[in-house]
Chains A and B, each alone.
Chain A
Amino acid sequence: MTRFILRRSAIAVLLLFVVSSIVFLTVHMMPGDPVLLMLGTDSNPDPQAVEALRRELGLDQPILTQYANWMLHALQGNLGTSYSEHVPVMQSIGSRLPRTLELAGVSLLLACLIGLPLGVLSALRRGKFSDLVMTTGASLGTSIPVYVLGYLLIILFSLNVFGWNIPTLPSSGYVNFSKSPSAHFQRLLLPAVALALGLAASIMRMTRSSMLDALSAESVRALRAKGLPEHNVIIRHVIRNAFIPVVTVIGLQMGNLIGGTVLCETVFNWPGLATLLVKAINQRDYPLIQGCILVMSSVFILTNMVVDIIYGVLDPRAR
């Protein structure tokens, strides 16, 4: 098991290197010039000022030199200084990342809490009316985009258009947890739900089909022939086997989840990493873009590594 984890970690490090190289190159291939944006494109900027700024930012050097410099600094934990905010990239990311991680983490948790039990339940009630209701709901859930669902939730629960007798939730914004925990969670609830529902629906569908596979396995009949009580057959054996492919799907969905935070943070004005990234792209803020994408991909690679390890724990064949 230790060897398995070490091997996975080595692969993760390698992936991180490849991803950071690609990120660096694509960012520099983007149309638009950060120097012109910084000096203001409306007027014709002074060529000398442009040249000076370019030299100051190191953008006049060959791309490979820039890449090597960036890589050397990144390895030491220095991702450069933001062009637009004039603070170290690590610092702006450091203040934004926890918020995005919180949003994504809570959504993932919600999605699992909703998707896994419903998937198990609908498989056990296959063909019954409740199964039909659940699978229809799941189809709906997978097909509503995050931003539509987000606005729908705002209309229903913040504007409370139907005048329901419920406490209305704030539609957007962010309050520090240390300032007021209840206000913090009130503002977290809607974006987290908006992000979670789609994921919950796909987890539920995957769980259902993989439960059905596991239920029809020959080993299940052999387990019943052993005289095992039905709840033991289901919990210890069927669910355990059914969750193996589901774990993989959750891992693959992490990409969608991180992509979803971009939309979700925009809709709910959640000041996380994704909104920072969008701003950085608009400004052609190279160091900040590279930093944001690098951190996001690290999160993705890390979660996938964790998923791989969980997979190894669940399935001895994968070790």
Chain B
Amino acid sequence: MAEPLLDVQNLEMVFENKYQAFTAVDHLSFSVEKGQTLGIVGESGSGKTMAALSVMKLLPNQGRVSGGKILFEGKDLVPLKDREMQRLRGRELAMIFQDPMMSLDQVYTVGSQIVEAILTHEPVGKKQAEERALALLAAVGIAHPQRVFRSYPFELSGGMCQRVMIAIALSCNPKLLFADEPTTALDVTVQAQILDLLRKVRDEYQMGIVLITHDLGVVSDIADRVIVMYAGKSMEDASTDVIMNHPAHPYTMGLIQSAPKLEEQVERLHSIEGAVPDIRSMPKGCRFCTRCPQANDLCRETEPQAKEIAPGHFVRCHYAGS
């Protein structure tokens, strides 16, 4: 098999100041191939966004990649300088964010922000860039590209803004797209449209997509493979079908149970008790032991290693597969 588009090995990412360092992403490995979608699922604070920002090298000030390799087309991104990374961002790697309204600069027209992205990376004239921007707006399903081109972001709806963000992300035909909660801030009907759009552009451009979300429904809709993250670690890693139908980690099971289902009438929604442990005080054993219904002394004392319980199905639990 050819080498994957993106191959992240043992990524470790810390927040640090002068006195202490806290690990936010702990030995995370994943890979994405051309035309494939990887879903990274987890609650807030599980480190999924930080993993994506590590690859983009857009970590906040106190964050730093402290270990592991990020191979993009075989080349390690970790040692790259800012300027080299700048050339990759937008052209090879693109990213869209949770709040599309806030992601656009409010004082420039939508058109000028797309044109800006094109002109940054491509040796084309302004006229050509404008034509391409209009074509992109049409390609992401905007009905009146001319009008939207001249609009300011605050004149558009959230769904429209996310389409515009996708148009910007696509402007230089990137090979890999990170989508960080791309539908969370949107209406349900618009969510489905945006997911359809992502699927369409993935197939058309043969792009790899890393979809970060807390919503298993979104993942099952579009992802080929899923990683379930908890407190900075991968808990379960398998194909979407296996995760949805044969989950092996208690956390994954909990997530699936707590997703509301239309076809069932329930009195109360299931919920996983408690919250993700604080980054500054991780439990000694399994990170999920504080909330796991099956946890015992072994879980509280010893941290489980990831094991492959079936081909391509990795689980970090003492009792998985047994």
Q: Which residues of A contact B (CB under 8 A)?
A: 217-219, 221-230, 232, 236-237, 240-241, 244, 314-317
Contacts and interface: CB of A to CB of B under 8 A. Distances in A.
Contacts of B259: none
Interface stretch (B114-122, B138-146, B189-197, B272-280): B114-122
Interface stretch (B84-92, B201-209, B288-296): B84-92
A225 B58 contact: yes
B55 to A, nearest CB: 11
A226 B102 CA distance: 15
Chain B interface size, as a band, is 20 to 34
B58 A226 contact: no
B152 interface: yes
A218 B102 contact: yes
Contact of A240 (B87, B96, B97, B107): B107
5 contacts: A219-B105, A221-B97, A222-B96, A222-B97, A227-B86
B224 interface: no
Contacts of A218: 97, 99, 102-103
A318 B107 CA distance: 10
Interface centre among B90, B91, B121 (most CB of A within 10 A): B90
Given A219-B103, A230-B86, A317-B154, 13 more contacts: A218-B99, A222-B97, A222-B165, A225-B97, A226-B89, A227-B121, A228-B86, A228-B90, A237-B108, A241-B105, A244-B107, A316-B154, A317-B107
Contacts of B103: 218-219, 221-222
A241 to B, nearest CB: 6
A314 B120 CA distance: 23
A225 B57 CA distance: 9
A227 B102 contact: no
Nearest to A221: B58
Contacts of B86: 227-230
A181 to B, nearest CB: 41
Interface of B: 56, 58, 82, 86-91, 94-97, 99, 102-108, 116-117, 120-121, 152, 154, 165, 168, 172
A226 B120 contact: yes
Nearest to A313: B107
A115 to B, nearest CB: 21
A130 B143 CA distance: 51
A228 B58 CA distance: 12
A241 B108 CA distance: 10
A93 to B, nearest CB: 40
Given A224-B58, A224-B89, A229-B86, A241 B106 contact: yes
Contacts of B154: 316-317
Given A218-B97, A317-B152, A223 B106 contact: no
Nearest to B121: A227
Given A217-B102, A218-B97, A222-B97, A227 B90 contact: yes
A225 B120 contact: no
Contacts of B152: 316-317
Contact of B102 (A219, A225, A230, A317): A219
Contacts of A244: 107
A244 B107 CA distance: 10
A120 B87 CA distance: 26
A77 to B, nearest CB: 41
Nearest to A243: B107
Contacts of B56: 225
Contacts of A221: 58, 97, 103
B106 A225 contact: no
A227 B107 contact: no
A246 B120 CA distance: 29
Nearest to B104: A219
B57 to A, nearest CB: 9
B105 A226 contact: no
A226 B90 contact: yes
A150 B148 CA distance: 55
A-B residue pairs, 7 tightest by C-beta: A227-B90, A227-B89, A222-B103, A218-B102, A225-B95, A226-B90, A226-B117
A317 B152 CA distance: 8
Contacts of A229: 86, 120
A104 B103 CA distance: 40
A226 B168 contact: yes
Nearest to A214: B105
A38 to B, nearest CB: 57
Nearest to B90: A227
Contacts of B107: 240-241, 244, 314-317
Contacts of A315: 106-107
A257 B54 CA distance: 49
A237 B88 CA distance: 21
A312 to B, nearest CB: 11
A219 B108 CA distance: 12
A111 B265 CA distance: 67
